[in-house]
Amino acid sequence: MRAARGIADAARRLGAGLLLALAAMAAHAGAQKEEDLADSVRGALAAAIADDRPARPVFASGGERLAYLKWLGEMSTRLASRIPEPQMRVELIEVAYYEAKRAGLEPALVLGLVQVESNFRKYAISSAGARGLMQVMPFWVRTIGDSDARKLFHLQSNLRYGCTILRYYLDREQGDLYLALGRYNGSRGRPEYPNAVLAAWKRWQYSEATVTVAGEPEIAPPRPRAPVAEPPARNPFSPQRVAANPS
């Protein structure tokens, strides 16, 4: 009888712990909402996804390259507890840096979002069906890609989609990062998810190198609370450029 009672008590404690864990997970649960896109917006987003320029930063000086390598080493050290394999984590950091800069985002913000979304698990799948490091919903591949959802488990493809989508939401919200993150998570207007990403962002902040991406002009990092949308010439899906090139 005592043994049975002990098992029952343990089960109740386990159940309570599981409920608490689920509640903590639910605080950030959500899914990007599929929405109708204007043809011009869809075309610009698709072009951004399909861009096949070499995925490498370009340095204006040896000093900038050295600063970047120092940043890369520091990020690798911080990520070691989550990804023990050095080559895998360096590749992730390099691609995250490139895709963030390419979309006019701060790399620390992208790393913070990856931490919240998947905890750096490349093959993560949410209950809503979001996939990969940045938990991209498969409908995006159908809407602006080639309909091959398997690519969301590919490192660069996932980060390309995630950064492109966040940039689009940021422009749509006129630089309001709080609302853009809410759209990304499907919980616009609620504070839990934006606050979690902003807290994680702070953990990855560092004095970054000033580099350009694929030979293009440098993009200034966004302000902490409301990143500034980049000029139309640099952002292929900015509202200004879309308006100037209607479908």
Give the pLDDT of residue 31: 73
Are the CB atoms for 234 and 217 separated by under 8 Å? Answer: yes
Tokens linked to 61: 């000086």
- Domains of the chain: residue spans and CATH: 38-244 (1.10.530.10)
pLDDT tens digits, residue range 84-138? 999 999 999 999 999 999 999 999 999 999 999 999 999 999 999 999 999 999 9
Question: Ramachandran region of residue 176, left (φ > 0), alpha (ψ -120 to 50) or beta?
Answer: beta
Are the CB atoms for 123 and 134 separated by under 8 Å? Answer: no
Report the Cα–Cα distance between both ends of the chain, in Å, rounded: 75
CA angle, residues 196, 202, 207, in degrees to nearest 5? 155
Q: Mean pLDDT in the chain? A: 79
The pTM of this model reads 0.74
Give the pLDDT of residue 242: 43
Q: Is the pLDDT at 47 greater than 80, yes or no?
A: yes
